[in-house]
């Protein structure tokens, strides 16, 4: 007699099936935590408001006004005064691209509220390969953003304090450590900490712009620029200036990637934050460009363009030092954008088995702790390799994000064509136009920075894509092993006589009806007569589909159905309620795995065992199931 266990795919929002791993590791894909119990109300309070989202996820974009216009000026200065006259037109072109991106990403937030940004769009509409390219490009750019932002803030500080120049790397690593610690406390905590410097910077730069536009001539303390040789402004020079200035657009996608981190209603709050970011950044960019043209600002050794603009608008008094101090702080803290966006992106990618499931875990503060640590570790490696030098890292910056921009726009065109809802044609046209603009920008940035190391980003993108494919292949191999048909009499643990001697209640947390659940329940029967299986349903899981599969394969075992985003909270609360009347034993099953699988698994069995032991009086038994892979499958 044989019992055929048919694997039950887990339904997702885009009708894809994902492998949920073996044993309790499968529960990691429900975006939950076993580290501590957190009530839903407290969890919601830890999420972001619209303003908090701007503070936590837009520091990178806001800080770009300190180096975006300067990058344009440095390129156009090669053509003298005539070239610098194109600063405002080039900045206006970048702001137009910004407006298209903001409009597109507001649509993306509504269409894909579960986060993931370009990866989520490509995964549904463009296939796995495009999705992996989008994910890899964003991962690379987020890591580079942290390294460049910290290095830029350190450079601004060492410029003001020359004696600190010898400790550039140590200062950079110290700033990175500070930002990491703040983000480990929770994204809302980071938003509260970083809200003040963000507001000060925006208000200060806005005051500089208004003062500069009102002032008839620049402050007399500003040195008069030496005349330069006028040369012809060619198309290639304008394209190079455009490519350099596009660095100001990095960070626009972060809000869409982290939409689940917002409070309800999440879509509306995230869209409001995206619009606030776009309007603020666009006004600051155009205002600074206008003052550059008005004051005839040119590159000066040791003095940034923003510093010259500030000095020309408000002089060299207290306002000047407030703007410079705010700029230094914001540049150093701009890395926070990546800490808000990348862990959430990696959570989505890991849920599709392209990254280790450990990246889906959340701590008691609602943070994807492993994602934060991976990001900090990778950025620290870059800083050490570059010795904290910003100029070494800048040429690699902003390439990946435009690849992600383009893939997202193409995916949205396909999305609207398939959905065909209200105003779908106008939305498709907008995203199509955006795809042309961002695609052109991606090619321009890649070509113009080829001699500066941009091709290295392409190589890294390919390597990361291959690695994610290998991770997916390994998870598929584990899935085939754990969902093979089982025959009673041939499986060693089922040949044992099950002594039913205990009188307590045995609870068995399960993720799905599979070979793992059958073996776990059979082992649990050795400890008690009354066996109850527990399954926690995530918000997007099909309850009826799971219940039907369970009744089909486990008709005599009662299934306790719980709800919650946090599996740990749900199980611990249930155990607390039951232990008042019954002696309980919780059997936590885990599959045997080799060293590679231990790296990829989420470690949920260990965490659940620890949580139940710490927060309840129930007994816990952790059992290891040894499942041999089928010989005829890879």
Judged on CB neighbours under 10 Å (0-12, 13-18, 19+), 622 is middle
What per-residue confidence (pLDDT) applies to 35? 41
DSSP label at residue 365: T
pLDDT at 376: 93
Tokens of 424: 């779908």
Is residue 112 within 8 A of residue 271, CB to CB? The reply is no
Alpha-carbon gap, residue 314 to 210, rounded angstroms: 10
**What's CA 522's distance to the chain center, in Å?**
41
Comparing 390 with 253, the larger pLDDT belongs to: 253
Sheet containing 558-563: give its strands across: 558-563, 530-537, 505-509, 584-591, 619-625
DSSP structure class, residue 300: B
Rg over alpha carbons for the chain, rounded to the nearest Å, is 28
Cis peptide before 256 (omega within 30 of 0): no
pLDDT confidence of residue 555: 83
Of 169-173, 263-267, 321-325, 395-399, which gets the smallest average pLDDT? 395-399
Residue 15 has pLDDT above 60, yes or no: no
The whole-angstrom separation of Cα 423 and Cα 184 is: 42
Residue 603, phi then psi, degrees to nearest 5: 70, 30
Q: Write the burial class of residue 249 (CB in 10 Å: 0-12 exposed, 13-18 middle, 19+ buried).
A: buried
- Cβ burial 570-593 (10 Å sphere, 16+ → b, else e): bbbbbbbebbeeeebbbbbbbbeb
Report if pTM > 0.85. Answer: no
pLDDT tens per residue, range 422-437: 888 998 999 999 899 8
Answer yes or no: are the C-beta atoms of 112 and 417 closer than 8 Å: no
Give per-residue pLDDT as tens, 296-341: 888 877 677 888 888 888 888 888 888 888 887 887 777 777 887 7
pLDDT band at 596 (very low <50, low <70, confident <90, very high): low
81 in helix, strand or coil?
A: helix
State residue 231's pLDDT score: 52
Tokens 């966006």 correspond to: 341
pLDDT of 34 strictly over 50: no
Give the Cα separation of 363 and 366 in Å (integer).
5
Which helix (H) or strand (E) segment holds residue 138: the answer is helix 128-160
Average pLDDT, the chain: 78
Assign 466 a pLDDT band (cuts: 50, 70, 90).
very high
- Reported in sequence order, the residue ranges of 300-389 that DSSP labels E, i.e. its strands, are none
Overall average pLDDT of the 136-151 stretch:
88
Q: Is the pLDDT of residue 205 over 80?
A: yes
Domains of the chain by range and CATH? 2-18+485-625 (3.40.50), 31-452 (1.20.1740.10)
Residue 254 has pLDDT above 60, yes or no: yes
Contacts of 531 by beta carbon, 8 Å cutoff, 6+ apart: 506, 508, 521, 524, 525, 557, 558
Whether 3 and 484 have beta carbons less than 8 Å apart is answered as no
3-state SS record for 33-50? CCCCCCCHHHHHHCCECH
Quick check: 373 pLDDT over 50?
A: yes
494 to 4, 491, 592, 623, 626: CA distances (angstroms)? 15, 6, 17, 15, 12
pLDDT in the model for residue 89:
93
- The β-bridge relationship of strands 619-625 and 558-563 is unpaired
């Amino acid at each position: 007699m044989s019992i055929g266990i048919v694997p039950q795919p887990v339904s997702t929002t885009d009708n894809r099936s994902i492998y949920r791993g073996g044993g309790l590791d499968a529960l990691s894909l429900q975006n939950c935590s076993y580290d501590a119990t957190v009530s839903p109300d407290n969890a919601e309070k830890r999420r972001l408001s619209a303003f908090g989202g701007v503070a936590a996820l837009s520091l990178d974009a806001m800080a770009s006004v300190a180096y975006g216009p300067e990058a344009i000026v440095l390129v156009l200065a090669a053509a003298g005064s005539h070239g610098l006259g194109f600063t405002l037109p080039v900045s206006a072109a970048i702001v137009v691209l910004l407006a298209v991106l903001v409009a597109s990403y507001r649509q993306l937030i509504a269409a894909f509220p579960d986060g993931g940004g370009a990866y989520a769009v490509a995964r549904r509409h463009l296939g796995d390969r495009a999705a992996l390219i989008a994910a890899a490009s964003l991962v690379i750019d987020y890591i580079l953003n942290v390294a460049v932002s910290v290095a830029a803030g350190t450079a601004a500080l060492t410029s003001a304090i020359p004696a600190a120049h010898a400790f550039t790397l140590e200062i950079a690593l110290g700033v990175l450590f500070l930002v990491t610690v703040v983000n480990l406390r929770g994204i809302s905590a980071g938003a509260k900490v970083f809200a003040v410097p963000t507001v000060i910077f925006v208000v200060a730069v806005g005051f500089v712009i208004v003062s500069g536009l009102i002032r008839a001539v620049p402050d007399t303390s500003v040195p008069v620029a030496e005349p330069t040789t006028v040369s012809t402004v060619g198309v290639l020079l304008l394209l190079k200036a455009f490519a350099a200035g596009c660095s100001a657009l990095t960070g626009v996608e972060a809000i869409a990637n982290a939409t689940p981190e917002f409070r309800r209603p999440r879509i509306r709050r995230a869209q409001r934050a995206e619009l606030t970011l776009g309007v603020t950044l666009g006004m600051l960019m155009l205002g600074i460009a206008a003052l550059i043209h008005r004051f005839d600002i040119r590159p000066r050794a040791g003095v940034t363009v923003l510093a010259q603009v500030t000095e020309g608008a408000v002089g060299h008094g207290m306002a000047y030092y407030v703007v410079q101090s705010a700029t230094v702080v914001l540049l150093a803290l701009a890395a926070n954008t990546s800490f808000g966006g990348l862990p959430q992106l990696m959570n989505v990618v890991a849920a599709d088995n392209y990254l280790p499931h450990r990246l889906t875990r959340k701590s008691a503060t609602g943070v994807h702790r492993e994602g934060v640590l991976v990001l900090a570790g990778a950025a620290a490696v870059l800083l050490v390799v570059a010795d904290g030098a910003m100029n070494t890292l800048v040429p690699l910056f902003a390439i990946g994000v435009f690849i992600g921009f383009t893939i997202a726009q193409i995916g949205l065109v396909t999305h609207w064509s398939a959905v065909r809802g209200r105003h779908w044609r106008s939305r498709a046209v907008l995203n199509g136009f955006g795809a042309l603009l961002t695609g052109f920008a991606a090619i321009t940035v890649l070509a113009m920075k080829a001699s500066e190391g941009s091709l290295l980003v392409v190589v890294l993108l390919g390597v990361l894509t291959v690695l994610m494919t290998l991770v997916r292949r390994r998870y598929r191999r584990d899935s085939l092993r754990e969902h093979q048909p089982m025959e009673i009499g041939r499986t060693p643990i089922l040949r044992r006589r099950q002594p039913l001697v205990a009188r307590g209640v045995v609870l068995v947390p399960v993720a799905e009806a599979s070979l793992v659940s059958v073996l776990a329940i059979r082992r649990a029967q050795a400890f008690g007569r009354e066996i109850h299986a527990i399954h926690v349903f995530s918000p997007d899981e099909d309850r009826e589909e799971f219940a039907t599969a369970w009744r089909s394969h486990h008709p005599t075992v009662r299934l306790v159905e719980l709800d919650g985003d946090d599996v740990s909270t749900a199980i611990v609360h249930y155990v607390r309620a039951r232990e008042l009347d019954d002696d309980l034993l919780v059997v936590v099953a885990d599959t045997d795995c080799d060293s590679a699988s231990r790296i990829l698994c989420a470690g949920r069995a260990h965490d659940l065992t620890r949580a139940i032991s710490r927060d309840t009086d129930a007994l816990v038994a952790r059992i290891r199931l040894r499942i041999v892979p089928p010989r005829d499958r890879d």
